[in-house]
């Protein structure tokens, strides 16, 4: 490919992780070299409207929680037709009628959660015939739904913790279903991220309230047995040119009190991170190898962050895989790669080059 690469950075979206997506996009947009990339910033409102956005997405207006939001007033409305013959985005200008932007070479869908990270946008990009960063439809959908993610990992012989799935119809038998897991348990939406809607339950009397909080975000709740262990994370990148995926040096999350919920991740200064983690060489190697195995188990592409518990006896338990992790320079995924020797701009560049090389369709 000669000349500048036209990259569309898509952010915001309809999920509860809207603002986290905006923050990630601001960092990626700032890292793109204008001599190498022609950038189109696309914001998706909470209602699902696509609009042209300024390149400095981090300057978005703050919402009621102080975090950035995408609004209709940001710019002209745009759409991405699921037609490879169009070759790009269409500007829906009421005054002039629809017009097509120049073709887009690659899309970086910095979307977290449902309607973005779950295979929906990936399916649209496949239909449109535009290469994109990250996993395809199946891996995105499986990894977003923690129930099916765990089933796939079990089928591949990978260690996970005990869990049950509960819906509203199970309310009357919820306590009986959960009791065999022991206490405490963690209740969370099955298809959400950033620890939104998650509760720690130490007494079964609190289970109903915790389920209600999870069901606000997803009609399917996951209840997991607590695992005694250190919280370890590892970043994975797809191999370039068909090579095997590569894993970063792992990191450790240490929460001062409570557990690693939304506030601990994004608002609490008491949370500490060891990057890289203080692990024995043998344990580090085991984490990196298992992270690649998890990546391959769900058929992930591009990038992912794999989260583990390291038990006191040295055994690893897979917590989850995140196919589009937070992407600010202070987020764990870029920090782990920086500690491994791959800086932020080079990391973004590698992801875009890998996406273009992979193309779309079966691969």
Residues known to be catalytic: 17, 194, 266, 305, 307, 320, 322, 326
For the CA atoms of 230, 231, 232, 236, what is the dihedral angle to 10 degrees? 160
What whole-number distance in Å separates Cα of residue 78 and Cα of residue 42? 8
DSSP state of 270: T
Cβ pair 303, 332 in contact under 8 A: no
Q: Are strands 163-167 and 316-322 parallel, antiparallel or unpaired?
A: unpaired
What whole-number distance in Å separates Cα of residue 325 and Cα of residue 289? 19
What whole-number distance in Å separates Cα of residue 88 and Cα of residue 311? 48
Beta bridge partners of 321: 306
Buried b / exposed e along 145-170 (16+ C-beta atoms within 10 A): bbbbbbebbeeeebebbebbbbeeeb
DSSP state of 338: H
Looking up tokens 């609004």 gives 71
Which tokens in the block code for residue 317?
Answer: 């338990």
DSSP state of 15: S
What whole-number distance in Å separates Cα of residue 141 and Cα of residue 113? 10
Count other Cβ atoms within 10 Å, centred on residue 191. 21
Cβ pair 128, 83 in contact under 8 A: yes
Contacts with 287 (C-beta within 8 Å, 6 or more apart), sequence order: 232, 234, 247, 250, 277, 279, 308, 310, 316
DSSP state of 173: G
What whole-number distance in Å separates Cα of residue 150 and Cα of residue 158? 9
């Amino acid at each position: 490919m000669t000349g500048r690469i036209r990259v569309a950075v898509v952010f915001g979206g309809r999920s509860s992780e809207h603002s986290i997506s905006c923050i990630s996009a601001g960092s990626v947009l700032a890292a793109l070299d204008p001599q190498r990339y022609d950038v189109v910033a696309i914001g998706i409102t909470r209602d699902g409207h696509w609009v042209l956005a300024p390149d400095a997405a981090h300057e978005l207006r703050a919402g009621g929680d102080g975090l950035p939001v995408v609004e209709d007033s940001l710019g002209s409305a745009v759409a991405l037709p699921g037609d490879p013959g169009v070759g790009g985005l269409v500007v829906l200008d009421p005054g002039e009628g629809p017009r097509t932007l120049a073709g887009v070479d690659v899309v970086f869908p910095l979307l977290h959660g449902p309607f973005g990270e779950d295979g929906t946008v990936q399916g649209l990009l496949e239909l449109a015939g535009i290469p994109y960063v990250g996993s395809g439809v199946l891996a995105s959908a499986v990894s977003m739904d923690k129930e099916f993610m765990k089933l796939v990992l079990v089928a591949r012989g990978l260690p996970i913790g005990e869990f049950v799935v509960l819906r509203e119809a199970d309310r009357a038998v919820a306590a009986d279903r959960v009791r065999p897991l022991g206490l405490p348990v963690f209740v969370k939406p099955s298809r959400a991220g950033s620890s939104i809607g998650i509760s720690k339950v130490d007494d079964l009397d609190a289970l109903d309230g915790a389920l209600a909080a999870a069901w606000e975000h997803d009609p399917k709740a996951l209840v997991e047995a607590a695992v005694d262990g250190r919280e370890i994370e590892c970043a994975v990148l797809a191999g370039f040119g068909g090579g095997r995926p590569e894993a970063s040096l792992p990191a450790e999350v240490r929460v001062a009190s409570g557990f690693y919920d939304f506030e601990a991740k994004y608002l609490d200064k008491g949370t500490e991170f060891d990057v890289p983690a203080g692990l024995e060489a043998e344990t580090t190697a085991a984490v990196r190898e298992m992270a690649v195995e998890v990546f391959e188990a769900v058929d992930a592409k591009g990038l992912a962050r794999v989260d583990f518990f390291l038990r006191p006896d040295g055994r690893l338990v897979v917590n989850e895989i995140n196919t589009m992790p937070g992407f600010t320079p202070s987020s764990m995924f870029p920090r782990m790669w920086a500690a491994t020797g791959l800086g932020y701009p080079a990391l973004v560049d590698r992801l875009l080059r890998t996406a273009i090389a992979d193309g779309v369709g079966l691969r």
